[in-house]
Amino acid sequence: MSESAKPILSDDVAQALTEGRAVVALESTIFSTLGLPAPANADALELCKQAVLDQGATPAVAAILDGRPHVGLSSDEEKRVLQGTRKVAERDLSVAQAQGWDVGVTTVSATVALAHAAGISVFATGGIGGVHRGSELSGDISADLDAIANHPVITVCAGAKAFLDLPRTLEYLETVGVPVLGWQHDWFPAFYTRSSGLPIPHRVDDERVVCDVLRLRARPATGVLLTVPIPVDDEIPESRINAVLTAALDSSARAGVTGPAVTPYVLERIEKETDGQSVPANLALARNNAAIAARVAVALASPAV
């Protein structure tokens, strides 16, 4: 990333980084109208920030504001992000700056890039994008996967939603050399459900091991994916959610939605099809991911004993 694209840091984030304290980056698409309906998006933002603070780390929300990349926002800036409607993936970072976008909300791919540029090693989100079902025809593979492979950041997520092709998503991560870890769990999680039925490549039970995986990985430029299953009490039964996901995908295909519009469209359909019951589950897992990410960030910032 060029000098001009260096993100603007909030004072608390800049100070934490200078002092070598734990910082957790957060993406902003999930907190915008593209990720969650209002007012749940504002609740999600507060819950995630508080979860990071409770572990003794500093939260750093990424976004584009007035054509400049930011990492760490003031409360006025957060309010603008909650209303955001323009999605910024990694490739869009330069466009958003060149065209001076008023508000751009960053996806996983843009946020890992900005975290890397800011010197932040841990990032929390809800679910990552992945290989879409039917990608052999549509070619739709989220830029999140290559970005995780190309930035030295630990991404903490609840796996990916089962409207994606999860076996192919795991195969892709293997091909691009991303270590995929399961937090105290043996299965790749599927967002609303704790298990996709796909075994996790490597289970980890301790944040120190996650730090060591980052430190010792074969390709220093590559990131790490740490998956955390949704808490047991917040899980939505697979039988229930699968029918909803299929209906949402069918609706997206019928409407002819393509490109970056696919994921927000499907997310909105899922909310409608579950009468909003998917939303508390989404909040619970996002908050849990932020807490685990903060534990990892604190371990990274403290010398090994």
CB 189 within 8 A of CB 289: no
Q: Which of 80, 116, 133, 161 binds ligand PSU (CB under 6 A)?
A: 161
Q: How far apart are CA 71 and CA 62, in angstroms?
A: 4
How is residue 103 written in tokens?
């508000």
Asked if 178 touches ligand PSU (CB under 6 A), the answer is no
Q: Which residue has its beta carbon closest to Mn ion?
A: 140
Which amino acid does the sequence have at 93?
A: L
Strand ranges inside the chain, DSSP E: 8-9, 23-26, 58-65, 68-71, 87-88, 103-106, 122-124, 154-157, 180-183, 202-204, 224-227
Q: Which of 252, 263, 288, 289 binds ligand PSU (CB under 6 A)?
A: 263
Q: Which of residues 27-56 bind ligand PSU (CB under 6 A)?
A: 27, 29-30, 35
Q: Which of 90, 92, 144, 165 binds ligand PSU (CB under 6 A)?
A: 144
Using only the alpha carbons of the chain, give its radius of gyration.
18
Asked if 77 touches Mn ion (CB under 5 A), the answer is no
Q: Which of 69, 84, 127, 182 binds ligand PSU (CB under 6 A)?
A: 127
Q: Which of residues 265-284 bind ligand PSU (CB under 6 A)?
A: 267
Asked if 140 touches Mn ion (CB under 5 A), the answer is yes
Q: How far apart are CA 249 and CA 133, in angstroms?
A: 9
* Of residues 23 and 162, the one with the C-beta less far from ligand PSU: 162
Three-state DSSP class for 133? coil
Q: 91: which DSSP letter?
A: T
Q: From the candidates 49, 77, 87, 161, give the one annotated as an active-site residue.
A: 161
Q: Which of 59, 69, 104, 129 binds ligand PSU (CB under 6 A)?
A: 129
27 part of the active site = yes
User: Could you tell me which residues come within 8 angstroms of residue 50 by beta carbon, excluding any fewer than 6 positions away?
Assistant: 287
Instruction: Report the nearest approach of ligand PSU to the CB of residue 32 (Å).
Output: 8
Instruction: Report the nearest approach of Mn ion to the CB of residue 261 (Å).
Output: 9
Binding site for Mn ion (CB under 5 A): 140
Residue positions annotated with a catalytic role: 27, 161
